[in-house]
Amino acid sequence: MTGFDWAGASVLITGGTGSFGNKMVEVLLRDYAPRRVVIFSRDELKQHEMRLRFANAPSVRYFIGDVRDRDRLNRAFYGVDVVIHAAALKQVPAAEYNPFEAVQTNIVGAKNVIDAAIDNQVSRVVALSTDKAVNPVNLYGATKLVAEKLFIQGNAYASGRDTRLSCVRYGNVIGSRGSVVPLFMEQRETGKIGITDERMTRFWITLEQGVQLVMRAVDEMRGGEVFVPKIPSMHLTDLAKAVAPGCEWEITGIRPGEKVDETLVGEDESRHTIELDDLFVIEPQFPWWTSDPWPGGRPMEEGTRYGSDNNPMQLSVEALRALIQE
């Protein structure tokens, strides 16, 4: 299954009022001509704000709903060709304090999306995941790991139908609501910024790159893959120099649930990962629905990992500053 025709398609984005959803709608309207774009979310205020932003786009529709509500999903998915699943509870401390709520949204919600997509014969479903799903040390990462497994093996339930499900997995998003950049910008006014640990590294991706990755996944997916982009990493200290030059650093210590470095492809995943020039494709370990190997690329070296600390693409202070200004 390759070469998806976006023109005339009906696209639904769960959690569509977030940073990713806003950018994806922008890209769809700018570069493609989808018949319909459905924003599915539970926040009527954010939907109102989005409706004002895209006031001249009659193809964009707004559904109030929660991924926990399978009946509402089933209603919203009728006639939809592509679902992008971006809805999630993402704040690490909030997930730890409200663990059952995180499970209900991130795991049960994922199951509901899969069931509704299969029942409504949605052609392609792509779920957004995170580097925190690799060897997770917090509940948020653990729920996203389970969600990944559900979307991958959900293809077994869709076997014999047109529905295919895959994931994309990437790191921190510059410009998103959870980015540390706005915090550093606020703190620099005081002349002092908080650094958790001077060793800390993170993967870095723009919203535009994240959207383009998702659209490529929809184009090329066959079901069960996890698409991982080759993106640059940065040291937290370099980010501090780029955003708040000359400011004093206060070392606050690693927060609960954090890692010093993040991983996008784990050592054990390398055995079933294909490396392309610009991304990795993690193939399913139990592909009952297909027997064809991924075309092209080369096997990732067994026992290696793709981490923010050993990533050959490291952003300099100057490159970070240019990205932030952009």
Return the active site residues: 132
Would you state the structure tokens that stand for residue 96, as one six-digit string? Answer: 């730890």
With the CA atoms of 174, 178, 182 and 188 taken in that order, what torsion angle do they form, in degrees rounded to the nearest 10? -110
CB 33 within 8 A of CB 7: yes
* Distance of alpha carbon 151 from alpha carbon 35, whole angstroms: 26
Place of tokens 């079901």: 223
Would you state the structure tokens that stand for residue 207, as one six-digit string? Answer: 């919203």
- Kindly report the backbone phi and psi dihedral angles of residue 193, in degrees, each rounded to the nearest multiple of 5, phi listed first: -125, 155
* Distance of alpha carbon 25 from alpha carbon 36, whole angstroms: 11
